[in-house]
Amino acid sequence: MITKELHTSNRILMGPGPSDAHPKVLQAMATPLIGHLDPEFVEIMDEVKEMVQQTFITKNNLTFVVSAPGSAGMETCLVNLIEPGDEVIIGVNGVFGGRMSEIAERCGAKVHRIEKQWGTVVTTADVKAALEKCPKPKLLALVHAETSTGALQPLQEISDLIHNAGGLLMVDAVTSYCGVELQVDEWNIDAIYTGTQKCLSAPPGLSPVSFSERAIKVLDERKTKVQSWFLDLTLVKNYWAGSKRAYHHTAPVSSIFALRESLRLVLEEGLENRWKRHQEVHQVLKTKLENLGFKYLVEEQYRLPNLNSVYLPEGNDEALIRRKLLDEYNIEVGGGLGDFAGKIWRIGIMGESCTLNHVNMLISALEDMKEFKS
Amino acid sequence: MITKELHTSNRILMGPGPSDAHPKVLQAMATPLIGHLDPEFVEIMDEVKEMVQQTFITKNNLTFVVSAPGSAGMETCLVNLIEPGDEVIIGVNGVFGGRMSEIAERCGAKVHRIEKQWGTVVTTADVKAALEKCPKPKLLALVHAETSTGALQPLQEISDLIHNAGGLLMVDAVTSYCGVELQVDEWNIDAIYTGTQKCLSAPPGLSPVSFSERAIKVLDERKTKVQSWFLDLTLVKNYWAGSKRAYHHTAPVSSIFALRESLRLVLEEGLENRWKRHQEVHQVLKTKLENLGFKYLVEEQYRLPNLNSVYLPEGNDEALIRRKLLDEYNIEVGGGLGDFAGKIWRIGIMGESCTLNHVNMLISALEDMKEFKS
């Protein structure tokens, strides 16, 4: 039997997420519980909705929070918008584009994949070519910030292409949200989901989502039931946006408290200041990493500032050094996924983990470590 | 823009959940984050798995935690066990049996409902009659503790009936888990899910689940893919039970910390002592409620000790009194659902909310309140 109380090390989180949480966010997590139908909680849900709208930069009324991590947000968007037999186009340039395709197929869609080398992005030419093969797709889904590679996907021109074809634009913004520019209304994004544990610096477990009026029209015109009950927006929306707040499932009260506090801190800093901070700290990190011999995976113009995918200098055992960083310095960086496993590191400077001190702790630890060869 | 820090009232939670959380559980929620692939977190997952096995009283290896509330645990069980065209039998004697039917239909099942009056339970005669119409069901699903009515479903004899017919027994144990006797192995339950916010007294947001070897065999022999990617156990089990701990989705780290602490506290008290405490406090509550003129909905032998569904004494405006309890005494009790809306209260004494002081706070508040007519 386990009788010890919980003990964890005091980690410095510089991987692909979760990032360090602000002490006030952690404190919000520890707030004594209130009921999920308590008038005070309903007010908090309204405040969270308003702040999610502000951080997505959208007026979308159907803006809410899925009671599960980002992958469930992804499934929420796909399962509600797709009906069996629909044709969709999905950009696959990393793990998360692949995951979207997998889920879309489970929804019964015919998926046209735009397969791109990992670390690159989908171009307007790629989308045009896909639209020739599939001229009337239900939607085009792209990953704004591919967490497996650190690539930042431009969206504005592509948004026009898919809308001109009569389809919806669906976007994975898990790693970009609150870290780099993201304009839901301005860029005409129809369905977007994100996570809480990246640049928002809240604990993992929730997924903010927003649907445009065009997406709601598709939802309203469905001929079949949504295959998931838990993620069915025709039901969830009555809880988040209905006048009667119909009970659907028990909301994760504590996580919503923490989300509220993390959103408040983002808006207190200001979204643009926050984007600027991520860019500035990235520049310092980049210079110092390159001085040590690291090389970036992604071409400079498509590089995410907050998730730095880098090849180690030659002659280093990445797993050994990553483990020593964790064990001896309490610093977590991420390893590579897929073909990049064992080859790259993914260094996150996200939200509360995006400070000059974080950069210096990591760089100095590497400089100190006798096993690391720069 | 919202600039206030979070403020909530100090509620006494005596509704159908969430219940009050132990200060140590709240403190665990506020533990600084560690990565979801950190070796320390993997160890915590192992400990949680072991304690979930102990509290379910099972040796099932496929015992794990769904990263979403109880309704997602329900969907996890159904979506993994059912394939299109399967016939299933579901007991419907309240909201949650109805929800299971709804989800099973979305999985493509032909559902045979055993419809029972709300507040009663499914009998062996009911199951025998259902098996005559559907002699080879894939599974029989029952709600052990129906949160909408406060009825406790006997399972042992029915378990033999469904196994003799070659089907699986699936059980909703959201409100019974850690509050009344529940024996997964002894009663031959094949698939079970629960929630964290009832008698476990952790915050809502997670769903412990366990599958028997028989259920795993059904999973392994599936001919179709599970329609949900997020809840697909063929993937999730590699994260919770695989030797390589394959990344599936980002685990809700803080909620797992809190779950670990709440499980530890349950085992420190002892499961049987905990069942006994719920029974004893229930007896005191029952006597005092009946003295005030309340009448129980459920027949005594099928009554849940921890969720007391009661009709108010005649001449009371239940909504008014419930609101005054909340506003003036900070005490939350639950209203009725469905046909019982406006007619009954659901008074929870679950986990940390199951103390003589909770009973006395509620009873005394009612005695003090001039609007309440006993």
Neighbours of B300 (CB within 10 A): 7
pLDDT value at residue B80: 98
Whole-number pLDDT of residue B76? 98
- The DSSP bridge pattern shows strands B12-13 and B331-332 to be parallel
Comparing CA positions, the residue from A175, A185, A128, A184 lying closest to residue A152 is A175
Q: Which residues of B touch A9 (CB under 8 A)?
A: 34, 40
Q: Is the pLDDT of residue A150 over 70?
A: yes
Say if the Cβ atoms of A229 and B3 lie within 8 Å: no
pLDDT value at residue B239: 82
What does residue B190 show for φ and ψ, rounded to 5 degrees? -95, -30
Q: What is the mean pLDDT of residues B217-237?
A: 95
User: Of A267, A288, A318, which residue sits at a domain end?
Assistant: A267
Mean pLDDT of chain A: 96
**Residue in A1, A3, A33 closest to B13 by CB:** A33
Q: What angle do CA B355, B357, B361 make, to 5 degrees?
A: 125
Give tens-digit pLDDT for B170-208.
999 999 999 999 999 999 999 999 999 999 999 999 999
Q: Are strands B344-348 and A87-92 parallel, antiparallel or unpaired?
A: unpaired
Q: Is the peptide bond before B23 cis (omega within 30 degrees of 0)?
A: no
Distance from CA of A225 to the nearest CA of B (A): 7
Pairing mode, if any, of strands A191-193 and A207-211? antiparallel
Query: Which residues have CB under 8 Å from A181's CB, separation 6+?
Result: A275
Q: A135 burial class (0-12, 13-18, 19+ CB within 10 angstroms)?
A: exposed
Pairing of strands A151-152, A168-172: unpaired
The CATH number linked to B62 is 3.40.640.10
Q: Could you tell me if A65 and A52 are in contact, meaning their C-beta atoms sit under 8 angstroms apart?
A: yes
Number of residues that this document lists for chain B? 374
The CA distance from A252 to B355, in Å, is 24
Question: 3-class SS at B264?
Answer: helix
Q: What b-and-e string marks burial along A70-96, b requiring 16 or more CB atoms within 10 Å of the CB? A: bbbbbbbbbbbbbbeebbbbbbbbbbb
One domain for residues B241 and B262: yes
Is B195 part of the contact surface with chain A (CB cutoff 8 Å)?
yes
Q: Are A204 and A297 in a shared domain?
A: no
Judged by phi (left if over 0) then psi (alpha if -120 to 50, else beta), residue B222 lies in beta
Most B CBs within 10 A among A250, A263, A324, A352, hence the mutation to make, goes to A250
Q: Do residues B325 and B274 share a domain?
A: yes
What the block records as the tokens of A339 is 């073909």
User: HSE-up of B252 (CA within 13 Å, CB side)?
Assistant: 33
Q: Indicate whether A236 and A330 sit together in one domain.
A: no
Q: Mean of the per-residue pLDDT values for chain B?
A: 96
Q: To which residue do tokens 């210096």 refer?
A: A360
Can you tell me the distance from the alpha carbon of B3 to that of A226, in angstroms, rounded to the nearest whole number?
A: 37
The answer to whether A191 and A170 have CB atoms below 8 angstroms apart is: yes
The secondary structure of B285-308, three-state, reads HHHHHHHCCCEECCCHHHECCCEE
Q: Show which of B267, B288, B315 is a domain's final residue.
A: B267
What's the burial of B152, exposed, middle or buried (CB within 10 Å: 0-12/13-18/19+)? buried
Look at residue B247 in the predicted model and tell me its pLDDT: 82
CB A264 within 8 A of CB A271: no
A217-272 pLDDT per residue, tens: 999 999 999 999 999 999 988 888 777 777 899 999 999 999 999 999 999 999 99
**What is the domain range of residue B357?**
12-17+270-368
Report yes or no on B246 lying in a domain. yes
- Gap from B14 CA to chain A (nearest CA, Å): 9
Query: Does the annotation place A11 within a ligand binding site?
Result: no
For chain A, give the percent of residues with pLDDT over 70.
99
Are B237 and B295 contained in the same domain?
no
Kindly report the nearest CA distance between residue A162 and chain B, in angstroms: 26
The ipTM is: 0.97
Residue B56 lies in a domain: yes
Measured CA to CA, the distance from residue B319 to residue B336 in angstroms comes to 10
Q: Taking CA atoms, what residue in A is nearest to B326?
A: A38
CA dist., res. B341 & res. B343, Å (int): 5
Contacts of B238 (CB under 8 A, 6+ apart): B244, B245, B246, B248
Kindly report, residue by residue over A23-38, the tens digit of the pLDDT.
999 999 999 999 999 9
CB contact under 8 A, B332 and A228: no
Identify the CA nearest to A249 among candidates A240, A257, A241.
Answer: A240
Q: What is the pLDDT of residue A156?
A: 97
- What pLDDT, on a 0 to 100 scale, did the predictor assign at position A1? 63
What's the 3-state SS for chain A?
CCCCCCCCCCCEEECCCCCCCCHHHHHHHCCCCCCCCCHHHHHHHHHHHHHHHHHHCCCCCEEEEECCCHHHHHHHHHHHHCCCCCEEEEEECCHHHHHHHHHHHHCCCEEEEEECCECECCCHHHHHHHHHHCCCCCEEEEECEECCCCEECCCHHHHHHHHHCCCEEEEECCCCCCCCCCCCCCCCCCEEECCCCCCCCCCCCCEEEEECHHHHHHHHCCCCCCCCCCCCHHHHHHHHCCCCCCCCCCCCHHHHHHHHHHHHHHHHHCHHHHHHHHHHHHHHHHHHHHHCCCEECCCHHHECCCEEEEECCCCCCHHHHHHHHHHHHCEEEEECCHHHCCCEEEEECCHHHCCHHHHHHHHHHHHHCCCCCC
* B116 and B262, same domain (yes or no): yes
H helix intervals, chain B: 23-29, 39-56, 70-81, 95-106, 124-133, 156-164, 213-220, 233-240, 253-269, 271-291, 318-329, 356-368
8 Å CB contact between B55 and B226: no
Comparing CA positions, the residue from B77, B177, B68, B322 lying closest to residue A251 is B68
Cα dist. A64→A61, A209, A257, B69, B188 in Å? 9, 6, 14, 16, 40
Domain assignment present for A182: yes
**Does one domain contain both B228 and B327?**
no
A17 shares contact with chain B (CB less than 8 Å): yes
Q: Residue B346: pLDDT band by 50, 70, 90 thresholds?
A: very high
Cβ atoms of A219 and A196 within 8 Å: the answer is no
Strand partners, A207: A66
CATH classification at residue A323: 3.90.1150.10
Q: Are residues B283 and B322 in the same domain?
A: yes
Report which of A273, A316, A276, A279 is spatially closest to residue A294, judged by C-alpha positions: A316
Q: Are residues B281 and B255 in the same domain?
A: no
DSSP state, B183? -
**What token pair was written down for A275?**
């984007």
Tens-place pLDDT, residues A273-304: 999 999 999 999 999 999 999 999 999 999 99
Q: How many CB atoms lie within 10 A of CB A330?
A: 15
Copy the structure tokens of residue B65: 């935690």
Using CB atoms and an 8 Å cut-off, which of residues 99-118 of chain B contact chain A? Answer: 99, 102-103, 106-107
Residues of chain A above pLDDT 90, percent: 94
Contact list in A for residue B39 (CB cut-off 8 A) is 326
In a domain, B347, yes or no: yes
Considering the domain architecture, whether residues A302 and A231 belong to the same structural domain is answered as: no
Q: Is residue B61 part of a domain?
A: yes
Whether B32 maps to a domain, the answer reads yes
Annotation: binding site of B: 346
B71 with B176, same domain: the answer is yes
A82–B contact, CB cutoff 8 A: no
Domain boundary pick from A267, A288, A320: A267
A282 within a domain of the structure (yes/no): yes
Tokens for A333, please give them: 């960086």
Integer-rounded Cα Rg, in Å, for chain A is 21
CB B294 within 8 A of CB B307: no
Q: Which of A88, A84, A136, A75 is nearest to A107 (CA)?
A: A84
Find the closest chain B residue to A333 by CA distance: B35
What is the nearest CA distance from B209 to chain A, expressed in angstroms?
A: 16
Q: What is the pLDDT of residue B1?
A: 63
3-class DSSP assignment, residue B97: helix
A30 and A157 fall within a common domain = yes
**How many independent structural domains does chain B possess?**
2
Strands A87-92 and B295-296: unpaired
Report the C-alpha gap between A16 and A37 in whole angstroms.
34
Is residue B359 in some structural domain?
yes
Q: How many contacts (CB atoms, under 8 Å) link A and B?
A: 242
Query: What is the distance between the alpha carbons of residues B169 and B193, in angstroms, rounded to a whole number?
Result: 12
The pLDDT confidence band at residue B245, using thresholds 50, 70 and 90, is confident
Q: Assess whether pLDDT exceeds 80 at residue A132.
A: yes
What confidence category does residue B373 fall into, taking pLDDT thresholds of 50, 70 and 90?
very high
Query: Rounded to the nearest 5 degrees, what angle is found at the Cα of B263, between the Cα atoms of B262 and B266?
Result: 90
Nearest-CA neighbor of A372 among A284, A307, A288, A292? A292
Do A67 and B255 touch, CB atoms closer than 8 A? no
Residues of A in contact with B229 (CB under 8 A): 71, 75, 99, 102-103, 106
Residue A247: per-residue pLDDT: 82
Question: Could you give the count of Cα atoms lying within 13 Å of A277 in the half-sphere of its Cβ?
Answer: 19
